[in-house]
Amino acid sequence: MLNKLLFAFMGLMAVGAYSETSNWYTDTARAFKVADSLKKPILLYFKGSCAMCNKLEQESFQRLAVMQNLAKYVCVRLDEGRYPSLYKEFNIETVPVVILSDGRGGTVKKMVGFIEPQTLQKKLELFYIKRND
């Protein structure tokens, strides 16, 4: 019993520590510079205060496997209403939307609505692999 509790506690500590180290940028210019210097792909997350946005953040982005994949990206959180030019450029009509970019001006993957954690994890992994081929 003690071993099970210890294992569960260690798992929670790992999730907490990992989420503290993950960076979400709100300054797109800075994020693109960082992505360029680190040679990382970019994840743009267009969000609002809707139930689906909250669900995506709480259920999908907080999964350890997803967070481990997000660490391979420069992640940008774009609140609805604050970035009208980007919303227009990427034709964002509803939220949530997740866009993956290779960071080199090409290859873009657009996902609209809530994304199940397992699906998001697989899409992040596949995009990263294809980008590096």
Examine residue 30 and state whether it is found in any structural domain, yes or no: yes
Write out 97-117 in H/E/C secondary structure.
EEEEECCCCCCEEEEECCCCH
Express as a percent the part of the chain with pLDDT over 90.
68
| CATH number, domain with residue 28 | 3.40.30.10
Give the separation between CA 71 and CA 121, rounded to whole angstroms.
12
Average pLDDT, the chain: 84
Examine residue 85 and state whether it is found in any structural domain, yes or no: yes
Give the separation between CA 68 and CA 73, rounded to whole angstroms.
10
Determine the pLDDT at residue 22: 54
What's the whole-model pTM score? 0.80
Residue identified by tokens 């692999």 is 129
Residue ranges making up the domain that contains 33? 23-131
The phi-psi region of residue 39 (left if phi > 0; otherwise alpha if psi is between -120 and 50; otherwise beta) is left
Overall number of domains in the chain: 1
Query: What does the pLDDT look like over 114-128, one tens digit per residue?
Result: 999 999 999 999 999
What are the structure tokens assigned to 84, written together?
């009208």
